[in-house]
A and B are shown apart, each in its own frame.
Chain A
Amino acid sequence: MHISDGIIDINVCIAAGAVSIGLVYLSGRNTSVEEIPRMGMMGAALFVASLIHFPLAGTSMHLGLFGIAGIILGKRSFPPVFAALLFQSLIFQHGGLVTLGVNSINMGAGAFAAWLIWKSAFMNENIRALLAGFLGIIIPVLLMAVEFRLSGYGRGIVYLFSVYLLAAGIESIITLGAVRFIRKVKPGLLT
């Protein structure tokens, strides 16, 4: 899901970079001292989450955890996602420097959408957790499809990205499990 440098059109990258800086500013303004360790921890967790692999159809997939990130961080999702992606691009080369803005928007929007669903009061908590996990993956994939289309990729990219539906399904079940566990053990962590 991390887009490397050179894949996306440079104009899309520059525009996304500018938007992501704005989003990081809006999301991070008036941050209180108490929120900072949570943001740092969540950024580190998002970075390390890529090391939890599970077997899938003969291959392995790693967790994204954008749904849980959105649920725990709420509107403060963008700065930790940005920092985590910066780390991932520098340490593992997952994603690039020029595409940092693109990746931050994609994954930050996933976490933000998860939070919006989580905050909506018209559904059962379990359904909200499932949807938050699902949107945490699907929103970045939809945005990726738009960015690829803007970069000249054909309409067929939508079919190729449909494999993420399975990943989103798995992630939603994992998010549900994590939310239920946190609700029992440390409910204060849920926004």
Chain B
Amino acid sequence: MKHSFLDKYSNLDSPVHRLDPRVKTVTALILIIIIVSETRGALFPFLFYIPVVAVLVAVSRIPWSYILKRCLIVAPFILLTALFYPISNMLASDYRPQGQYNHDYMVGLSIFLKAYSALILLILLTSSAKFHNLLLGLRKLKMPKLIGIISALMYRYVFLIHDEILKTNMARDSRTTGKLKMSRLKVFGNQSAMVFIRSFERSQTLYNSMLSRGFNGEFPSMSKLSVKGKELLLPGVLIFLMLVIRLANQNIQNYLFN
């Protein structure tokens, strides 16, 4: 499986890259919560949120072209869901005054901006750390043990299953050409079943060999995570800045509407 895109820019040297994965994850989560909990329909605060996110990307030295390329995969879905807001209200048969429709469009736009800002932060989080370090960080953050084991196994099985899919895709395509027909759906069913069976057998062998080598649910790691005091400066400043924007906007709104 080609997964070089995962760790492509994780080796850069920047203040964002140097952060401990745990600090990075928690900071990203807090920033995302601050942004997505912003009042619906409020567009003004994004004049400040977006530059902060942009500065963070610039500091990380991860190219914008890469970030935008990864955004493109999800962007159509976000756009569609944001558009659903005014459309879903329009489709409801109740009478709504014109002002309400304008408000719906503003809410739709704010949903889009929220989702896009959160998306960029998420991409920044995963691109600025090696994926296995990110998983290790999550485990150190007291992720439930079962989820930790499943995630660690998944990280190994994903490549195994993907290879099976590539092989079976080739076999399926050579047998099924042309338009989608009922008979082709059966082939898709057989393909998924085949992938499950083969992967299950291989995963069982893999897991048994892990058990025979003394696996007890903990994955030993060479990476040692440590948080230094000065590392907390950047996340602290960022969170403080976002909270100030958030609270200032709330006060401005209260002042304007009361």
Contact = CB atoms under 8 A, between A and B. Distances in A.
Interface in A64-103: 65, 68, 72, 79-80, 82-84, 86-87, 89-94, 96-98
A131 B162 CA distance: 27
Residue picked from B88, B160, B191, B195, most chain A C-beta under 10 Å:
B88
Interface stretch (A105-113, A115-123, A149-157): A149-157
Q: Count chain A CB atoms within 10 A of each CB in B85, B150, B160, B162 and give the residue with the most.
A: B150
* Main SS class of interface, A: helix
B interface bracket (residues with beta carbon within 8 Å of A): 35 or more
B158 to A, nearest CB: 5
Contact of B91 (A96, A98, A155): A155
B111 A7 contact: yes
A186 B197 contact: yes
Q: Taking chain B's interface residues, is the majority helix, strand, or loop, or is none over half, making it mixed?
A: helix
Contact of A155 (B92, B150, B211): B92
Nearest to B157: A44
B186 A38 contact: no
Interface residues of A, number: 76
Interface in B196-242: 196-197, 199-200, 203-204, 206-207, 211
Contacts of B77: 2, 4
Nearest to B34: A10
Nearest to A57: B180
Interface of B: 6, 28-29, 32-33, 35-37, 40, 70-71, 73-74, 77-78, 81-82, 84-85, 87-92, 107, 111, 113-119, 122-123, 125-126, 131, 134, 144, 146-147, 149-158, 160-162, 165, 169, 179-180, 182, 184-197, 199-200, 203-204, 206-207, 211
Given A93-B122, A177-B193, A179-B193, 20 more contacts: A6-B114, A38-B204, A39-B153, A44-B157, A54-B180, A54-B185, A68-B192, A79-B150, A82-B147, A83-B150, A83-B154, A90-B122, A90-B125, A93-B73, A96-B32, A97-B118, A148-B84, A155-B88, A174-B188, A182-B196
